Chains A and B, each alone.
Chain A
Amino acid sequence: MTESVILSMQGMEISFPGVKALDRVDFTLRSGEVHALLGENGAGKSTLIKCLTGVHRMDAGRIMFDGSEISPSSPQEAMKMGISTVYQEINLCPNLTVAENIFIGRQPMKRSQIDWKEMNRRASELMERFNIHIDVTRPLDIFSTAVQQIVSIARAVDIQAKVLILDEPTSSLDENEVDRLFRVMEGLKKEGLGIIFITHFLDQVFRIADRITVLRNGQLVGTFEAGGITKLDLVTRMIGKDMDAIYNLKRPDVAKDAGKMLEADRIGITGGTVGDISLHVKEGELLGFAGLLGSGRTETAQMLFGVTRAGKGSIRKQGKTIRVRHPIDAIGQKIAFCPEDRKRDGIIGDLSVRENIMLVTQGRRGLFRPMSRQEQVQLAEKYVKLLGIMTPDIEKKVGELSGGNQQKVILARWMATDPDVLILDEPTRGIDVGAKAEIQRLMIELCGKGVSVLFISSELDEIIRCANRILIMRDGEKAAEVPGGSTTQHEILSIIAGEGVQGGVA
């Protein structure tokens, strides 16, 4: 590894009302290295990046880049200097071609006209360099997220970037796509680029990063060589407490005589891809749902909650047949559902924490019995405290909170309705280790109070750790049901893969 430092930030400090978001943080990046930036949500990773790219103005500290001090005032300015950022959400234009997305704003010109031929040729070359063989004259939106992600990287590096910031680029990619992205990153590394890599996936950090910097509560915990630290050690440093608390979670105790809380008998979507699902969950039991994306996990949960109507089969709650045709029926039956895409289907970003928490409670009371302001505040404050939601106050817009805290707000919304059955679709996706552990702990606590929890997750180890039983889905059908705890990841994987091993990447 070359020792030339391309970027160094010294004594970075910034305060927001009520919070010291960065407190004397140092960070150095060498050219030709991948430097992972880790920390829980709210640890200050994004804030540090935003200071670097000129979104925020820091209160103190200096940034040295390529030998001189800089203070960019906007991402555009940072980009011009050679610091490019690729965000988790793809910030490209779906209606333009791949080539245009790479070159727009800097198109090659010939006789003061856009030289489309040259632009397409160069775009093609650039994508070939990343081993992506596509027709760059096709609109961007026909390509997969991974390709789009690589197009944004191509755009970023073609601006003669010296530093590339990747802000959670892998969170919506599958295994193959991650591999592809990593190959691109390796290539850029060889060309001498300094890459700052922000992610929640520790495995990926160890695969690609040379050094790791950990932040916690706005402070620097330390910078480590990737080879010189273990995963457990790293996590402990990230959350600042012993990881035993997480790994020693105890599965819910289900009483021997616990009755069946919810049963589904051969339910399926008429004419749909999901059919013949039978399942039950007992009082106080945690039922895990494993399977690939698109295997029918989410669809089953949606049928139970009435998002999609189960055209076939029947659903019983505490022995009585119930009709769940719309979510409102399910809510009436004290069933709660936290959807997979929390940004789209869960939170209402422009409403405050208080308003988001009270939503369903108010909805159940109906239009003519409004909750008083005082009741709302009490409700919100109770859950903010109970769940440890990190927010300056309950009037903050939910959209401005971190992912883990948003998830907790949705959880609070449903807990406030005192549900019997709680369905959680990927509640821990895209949130950090500490928040994950807390969500898992909360689920198990709820089970202790007699709530039945249906827990959908793509991360097998957390399902195995938490669930009493695990239901495995494959191709829209229930493939198997195994007990939690005693099952290994490998066993579940081989069931998911099935006989023919369908390479199902969603």
Chain B
Amino acid sequence: MSKPARTRNTLLNRLMNPKFIMVYATIVVFLLIYTIGALLYGDKGFTTLRTFLNLFIDNAYVGISAVGMTMVIITGGIDLSVGAVASLTGMFIAYGNTILGIDPFICIAFSILIGVALGLAMGAMIQYLKVPAFIATLTGMFFARGVCALISRESIAINHAAFNELAKWRIKIPDVKPLAYVNFNVLLFIVMILIGAYMLQATRFGRNVYAIGGNEQSASLMGLPVNRTKVLVYGFNGLCSVLAGVAYALYVKSGWNLSLQGAELDVISSAVIGGTLLTGGVGYMFGTLFGVLLKSVIPALITFNGTLLSWWAKIGTGVLLLLFIGIQRIVVSASARKKL
């Protein structure tokens, strides 16, 4: 040990911490791809604020869900039920309002109740019955999807004045053209990211989440409330899934039992691209924010190109995932080597 290495609490010093390396990698790759887009399609309007904000608008539901997913993955778990739960939320709102005539906001409250309960139940299954998270949440996914089909197998449009009002509500950004705005979904996404970041950084609950992901047995021996924390994380993720479902319902203004199939994988890959380690213990909300952006800038590029099939977006995402998991492996093994 050299001289006393006093912690210098300058902002720069804190930002230089090597633990943020994955987040920076995400930001750098995002800027890179964005720059490529700007060079290729700058004349078609790729660089406008509107295009940029559209990344948020079109992907807010993925981002909202990714907030909860990030937390789940940091504990070393996974949740495959998020797409189905979000879809179920859409069904509750659409069927409840259009067919049964219930106020959509009551439907949302009911969805939150069900979503959180389902999340807590899966968490309890994982923690107390020692069912692997993969299996427990897979059953949750089948359950939610089954209930969706039970409610209706047709797409139901939502037609409610206040709900439509909320869907249309937007804040215009002054003095830019073409017209640019953010809507309710974007605000919800940003608020959820901030709430998630606050929980992770500033509360004991959040730090316990990291501790569990680092070494669950140690966390328990250190006297941390491991069981409670893990179950609550899945409950919180249930809440995020429902809110993602609300955002999606506002986005498409309908509910359909087969909507959002495979969305869980978009959510998981957003978190992973944002630097969340699948083995647990590492991850940041702002990383996830950029993970969502990075994952959505590729389809935007493809749209601007106009001639490429949209499936190229999937291939691009696949390559990105591979790249980031590769970087993670290198970072992890490099830090393991350093210790020797």
- Contact surface of A with B, Cβ cutoff 8 Å: 75-76, 79-80, 87, 90-96, 100, 104-105, 107, 113-114, 117, 120, 124, 128, 132-137, 139, 141-142, 144, 155
Complex A-B, nearest 7 residue pairs according to Cβ-Cβ distance, in ascending order: A93-B214, A95-B214, A95-B281, A135-B5, A76-B223, A113-B202, A91-B218
Is A134 touching B338 in the complex (CB atoms < 8 A)?
no
- For A132, the chain B residues whose CB sits under 8 A away are 1
Q: Which residues on A sit within 8 Å (CB–CB) of B224? A: 104-105
Q: Check B219–A93 contact: CB distance below 8 A.
A: yes
B215 within 8 A of A: yes
A-facing residues in B169-195 (Cβ within 8 Å): none
Q: Which one of B134-142, B205-213, B238-246 is at the A interface? A: B205-213
B335 contact set on A, CB distance < 8 A: 141-142
| Chain B residues within an 8 Å CB radius of A128 | 4
A80 and B222 CA atoms in complex are apart in Å by: 11
Q: Which of B203, B281, B338 contacts A93 (CB 8 A)?
A: B281
Question: Smallest CB-CB separation from A105: which chain B residue?
Answer: B224
A353 to chain B, nearest CB (A): 24
Also in contact, A139 and B210, with CB within 8 A (given A93-B281, A95-B281): no
A124 touches B6 (CB 8 A): yes
Instruction: Give per-residue flags for B1-43: 1 if the beta carbon is below 8 A from chain A beta carbons, else 0.
Output: 1111111010000000101000000000000000000000000
B160 smallest CB distance to A (angstroms):
38
Q: Which residue of A lies closest to B9 (CB)?
A: A117
CB pair A75 B207 closer than 8 Å: no
B282 interface residue per 8 A CB criterion: yes
Report how many residues on chain B are interfacial, defined by Cβ distance under 8 Å: 33
Q: Is B305 an interface residue (CB 8 A)?
A: no
In the complex, the answer to whether A96 meets B3 with C-beta atoms within 8 Å is: no
A-B contact pairs, 7 of them (CB 8 A): A93-B214, A94-B215, A96-B211, A104-B222, A105-B223, A133-B1, A142-B338
Further contacts, 15 of them, CB under 8 A, given A93-B214, A95-B213, A133-B5: A76-B223, A93-B215, A93-B218, A94-B281, A96-B211, A100-B211, A104-B208, A105-B208, A105-B224, A114-B202, A114-B204, A120-B7, A133-B4, A139-B19, A142-B339
Question: B interface vs A, CB < 8 Å?
Answer: 1-7, 9, 17, 19, 201-204, 207-208, 210-211, 213-215, 217-219, 221-224, 281-282, 335, 338-339
Are B214 and A96 in contact, with the CB atoms below 8 A?
yes
A133-B214 contact given A91-B221, A91-B222, CB 8 Å threshold? no
CA–CA, A93 and B224, complex, Å: 12
Q: What residue in chain B is nearest A110 (Cβ atoms)?
A: B202
Q: Which residue on chain B has the smallest CB distance to residue A93? A: B214
Interchain CB contact under 8 A, B211 and A93: yes
Which residues of A have CB within 8 Å of B7? 120, 124, 135-137
Cα distance A241–B5 when bound, in Å? Answer: 53
Separation of A104 and B215 alpha carbons in the complex (Å): 13
Min CB distance B69 to A, Å, is: 18
Q: A112 → chain B, closest Cβ, in Å?
A: 8
Cross-chain contact B218 with A92 (CB below 8 angstroms) = yes
- Write out the residue numbers on chain A whose beta carbons fall within 8 Å of the beta carbon of B6: 124, 135
Cβ distance B4 to chain A, nearest Cβ, rounded Å:
4
Residues of chain B lying within 8 A (CB to CB) of residue A93: 210-211, 214-215, 218-219, 222, 281
CA distance A100 to B201 in the complex (A): 12
Assembly CA distance A129 to B130 (angstroms): 42
Interface of A: prevailing SS: loop
Q: Which residue of A lies closest to B223 (CB)?
A: A76
A residues less than 8 Å from B210 (CB atoms)? 93, 95-96
- Verify B223–A95 contact, CB threshold 8 A: no
Contact A75 B339 (CB under 8 A): no
Pairwise interchain contact B222-A155, C-beta atoms closer than 8 A: yes
User: Which B residue's beta carbon lies closest to that of A97?
Assistant: B19
CA distance A382 to B275 in the complex (A): 54
Closest chain A CB from B225 CB (angstroms): 8
- From known contacts A91-B217, A95-B214, infer whether A100 and B281 are also in contact, taking CB-CB under 8 Å: no
Cα–Cα, bound, A80→B202 (Å):
24
Closest Cβ–Cβ distance, residue A76 to chain B (whole Å): 4
The interface residues of chain A lying within 8 Å CB-to-CB of B17 are: 137
CA distance A91 to B215 in the complex (A): 8
Asked, given contacts A114-B202, A142-B339, whether A104 binds B1 with beta carbons under 8 Å apart, the answer is: no
Chain A residues near B211: list those with CB within 8 A: 93, 96, 100, 104
How far is it, in angstroms, between the C-alpha of A139 and the C-alpha of B4 when the chains are bound?
A: 17
* Inter-subunit contact A107/B5 (CB<8 Å): no
A124 to B9 CA separation, bound complex (whole angstroms): 13
Taking CB atoms, residues of chain A closer than 8 Å to B219 are: 93
For residue B202, which residues in chain A have a CB less than 8 angstroms away from its CB? 113-114
Asked whether, in the complex, the Cβ of A75 is within 8 Å of the Cβ of B221, the reply is: yes
Q: Which residues of A contact B281 (CB under 8 A)?
A: 93-95
Contacts of A142 on B, CB cut-off 8 Å? 335, 338-339
CA distance A178 to B86 in the complex (A): 56
Of all chain B residues, the one with the shortest Cβ separation from A133 is B4
User: Most chain-A Cβ atoms within 10 A of its Cβ — which of B4, B214, B335, B339?
Assistant: B214
Smallest Cβ distance from A45 to chain B, in angstroms? Answer: 19
Across the interface, which residues of A come within 8 angstroms of B204, CB to CB?
Answer: 104-105, 107, 114
The answer for the CA separation of A135 and B6 in the assembled complex, in Å, is 6
Report A154 CB to chain B, min CB distance, Å.
Answer: 13
Interfacial chain B residues near A91, Cβ < 8 Å: 215, 217-218, 221-222
Whole-angstrom distance between the alpha carbons of A93 and B218 in the complex? 6
Nearest opposing residue in chain A for B211, CB measure: A93
Contacts of B221 in A (CB 8 A): 75, 87, 91
Q: Which chain B residue lies CB-closest to A74? A: B223
What's the minimum C-beta distance from A318 to chain B, rounded to whole angstroms? 38
Q: Which of A76, A94, A104, A120 contacts B207 (CB 8 A)?
A: A104
The reply to whether B207 and A100 contact each other, CB–CB distance below 8 Å, is yes
Query: Closest approach, in angstroms, between the C-beta of B212 and any C-beta of chain A?
Result: 8
Query: Chain B contacts of A134 at CB under 8 A?
Result: 1, 5
CB distance from B43 to the nearest CB of A (A): 46
Residues of B within 8 A of A94 (CB): 214-215, 281
Interface centre among A95, A132, A142 (most CB of B within 10 A): A95
Q: CB-nearest residue of chain B relative to A294? A: B340
Is the Cβ of B207 less than 8 Å from the Cβ of A96? yes
In the complex the two chains form, is B282's CB within 8 Å of A95's CB? yes
Kindly state the separation between the CA atoms of A228 and B214 in the bound complex, as whole angstroms. Answer: 46
Complex Cα distance, B204 from A92, in Å, reads 16
CB-nearest residue of chain B to A124? B7
